[in-house]
Structure 1
């Protein structure tokens, strides 16, 4: 494994709903970060499509048969990425050319349901998916639950291990234990905003997992949602719902890069910016001297975790 890796977080406003436009913007961000020397580049939760802020900010969004909520769901389904999506070809070409990795959140469609997916784009390989296991609270109005088949991290050619969890998954003790067991060196913790409690979770993950954590947030205003809706074709009921939201800044970044000792190597403010830090990979082995939660600081004779990594498709077609 290399002794140092340059890591970056691109903290920016998404193009909500209109994912074609979002991918174009994503490519521009990745190109800039790669030219600045980044080798792994992280974006926040559902950067492609934008975090569905109306769930929290529009008081009527959860009403049964709300026409604005229904219209937004249809628009999200129509724009969502799919497995093998050809719209990612320019991004993959950029990843291959710069020899970088890119972790980005997206709304993904599988059959007729939406998933919250944190995709890892890798040089000369298919993107690696991690679908959020438990949508939180109002998010269950939009996203289906993921399964254990996407809990696998990426193992790079140099041996470095890169994984991710999304938002409150970073507070799921057994999900963390499963990731620690796979020896992460770099962990992407994807958040909408890295508020104080989310910073605590990210720094705790770094200490517990003896790894570097890229806690990636985004920024978003009501005006971003209204603009994205227009780009996605518009809808009067959806526009009315989004217009009822507060016009203040609704996501405020706060991204940070954290070392295994919980020290913050780079910290973003509340506006658009790229933060970058050189990760000294030797710190991981040094930190493991005192704590290895998957090894010498575990008690497998007392505690045992079983992880089901089989895809839960619900319907199994068989010739037999």
Structure 2
């Protein structure tokens, strides 16, 4: 078997390291956002790639390492760019879904266990976007791994053509995530335009929020900056750089006899070489951009932030506190798990 393609390798001095504020008592957090793509659709090879990227970031001093939306095993770009992906009974779409399903990690599988072991070994926090296989369905999920702990959030509303392959999650993963420097949390892509989803996350008083995107476009950055100011928290907005050539390199590394599945990818127009443009950013509670990656830049983005300044902005705006008007507005959140099948004995 031929070796899988090596994922894009950023230099060890990847990205500028920006420091926002510093005092003797201020908790400082070093954040790294990975923009390099996975080995597209090849789950085992992508885990090897992820481990190398995590070790490099940890070696450069990262406390928190963030990967973009659906990084394992790669955002399903054919939904956006390949004509025919939404046709009922379309054999290429069916074949490619089968390949995708077989390469999606399960929460209790060895891939997530490997990332958890890395988190413990390196004493780092890993935030990973995955396409999670649950039974025969796929959920868009973010997994946060800290030494001895795992937190998850599943995307509640897949956007437009994403509904062809992803199931909609219930509200059971909207609970708070504790962190050693304060509460953290995540939303995925267009969940940042769901006002009540934002309100559900803001109630936890997040110090740091993870905004996972396929790529951070101008519109996505606008949503991330709005979230930072509305929630008075830092936001790590993560996006991937991915080319059409890398899509085929990854698929071909599977060495699977699936010509129909490859035909679905071949429907992506040849002139669409750059499919995802990265653009990751780290945003402060006042909506300023602390660090930003250049478009098409695969370098890991780094910044060091000081969390004490979070309290300062809440003097003026606390959307779940003194600015909330609970006498007028009330939000009810159903966090019960909804499996759809219950056996009563």
TM normalised by structure 2 equals: 0.89
Q: Secondary structure at the match of 1:94?
A: helix
| 1:137 maps onto 2:163 in alignment | no
Q: 1:104 aligns with which of 128, 136, 140?
A: 128
Deviations 1:169-218 (A, max 9, x none): 01110000000001111100000111101000000000000000000000
1:44 aligns with 2:68: yes
Q: Matches of 1:22 and 1:293 in 2, distance apart?
A: 39
Listed one character per residue, the Cα deviations across residues 137-165 of structure 1 (whole Å, up to 9, x for unaligned) are: 00000000011111123202x35111100
Give secondary structure in 2 for the equivalent of 1:251: strand
Shift of 1:219: 1.0
Cα offset for 1:91?
2.1
Kept after mapping to 1: 8 A contact 2:106/2:112: no
Mapped pair 1:199 → 2:199: no
Q: Distance in 1 between matches of 2:117 and 2:136?
A: 29
Count of aligned positions: 317
From 188, 192, 201, the equivalent of 1:170 is 192
1:276 paired residue number? 302
Q: Is the CA contact (8 Å cut-off) linking 1:23 and 1:88 kept in structure 2? A: no
2:146 paired with 1:122: yes
Q: Quote the offset at 1:2 in angstroms.
A: 5.8
Within the candidate set 270, 285, 298, 2:311 is matched to 285
CA RMSD in angstroms comes to 1.3
1:44-66 Cα deviation digits (max 9, x unpaired)? 11001111111110111111111
Secondary structure of 1:97's counterpart equals helix
Counterpart Cα distance in 2 of 1:310 and 1:121: 23
Aligned to 1:60: 84
Aligned to 2:19: none
Aligned to 1:69: 93
Map 1:1-320 → 2, pairs under 5 A: 3-125=27-149, 127-156=150-179, 158-232=180-254, 233-247=256-270, 248-269=273-294, 270-318=296-344, 320=345
Unaligned runs of 5+ in 1: none
Relative to the length of structure 1, the TM-score reads 0.96
Q: Secondary structure at the match of 1:128?
A: strand
Distance across 2 between alignment mates of 1:16 and 1:152: 31
- Answer yes or no: is the 8 Å Cα contact 1:14–1:49 preserved in 2: yes
